Amino acid sequence: MEELLLEKMVLHHMEVLGWEGLWGTLGMAVIGMPLAWFLPGADIGGREENTVDSVLMLWNSDGLNAVNTLFFWSVVGLNVFGLMVTQVLGSVFRAVMLTARTASLLGFSLLLAGTIIYAQVKA
């Protein structure tokens, strides 16, 4: 889809990123949040996700806001550079790159776990 928007419709990669963000936000606001509100769960009020409680936590916690802001900008950076790769090299290369990233993280996790087990590190 991104490749279609970047090449056929000749949209700038930042415009594509903006449209993806808009539709994702609308989808979560219209479908995701109401669904999580009505599903039973372990959150306050017996809900899967209590949005009011989450907003209050964000409002009252500077640390949580800092982590949330850091996460937001890291996702923005990931998406901007991913769209630039898609625009220059194509969506197949981006898919291979994302798969290689996942495999690298899995490999590093296994290496770290093996080292901890071998060295008999105690928690």
Question: For residue 26, how many C-alpha atoms fall within 13 Å in the half-sphere facing its CB?
Answer: 6
* Cα separations in angstroms, 42 against 1, 22, 53, 54, 60: 37, 30, 13, 14, 22
pLDDT in tens, 89-117: 887 888 898 899 999 999 999 999 999 99
Listed by start position, the domains of the chain span: 2-89, 91-123
Q: What is the pLDDT of residue 116?
A: 92
Kindly report whether the global pTM for this prediction surpasses the value 0.85. Answer: no
* Cα separations in angstroms, 93 against 10, 14, 25, 117: 20, 19, 27, 36
Counting residues of the chain whose pLDDT is more than 70, the rounded percentage is 93
For the residues 8-36, what does the mean pLDDT come to? 86
Q: What is the pLDDT of residue 44?
A: 85
- Pick the more confident residue, 79 or 106: 106
Please state, as a whole number, how many other Cβ atoms lie within 10 Å of the Cβ of residue 42: 7
Q: How far does CA 115 lie from the centroid of its chain?
A: 29
At residue 81, does pLDDT exceed 70? Answer: yes
Distance CA 28, CA 47 (A): 17
For the residues 16-31, what does the mean pLDDT come to? 89
User: Which class for 85: exposed (0-12), middle (13-18), buried (19 or more C-beta within 10 A)?
Assistant: middle
At residue 84, does pLDDT exceed 70? Answer: yes
* Cα separations in angstroms, 51 against 21, 34, 37, 62, 65: 20, 9, 7, 18, 16
pLDDT in tens, 29-60: 999 999 988 999 888 888 888 888 989 999 99
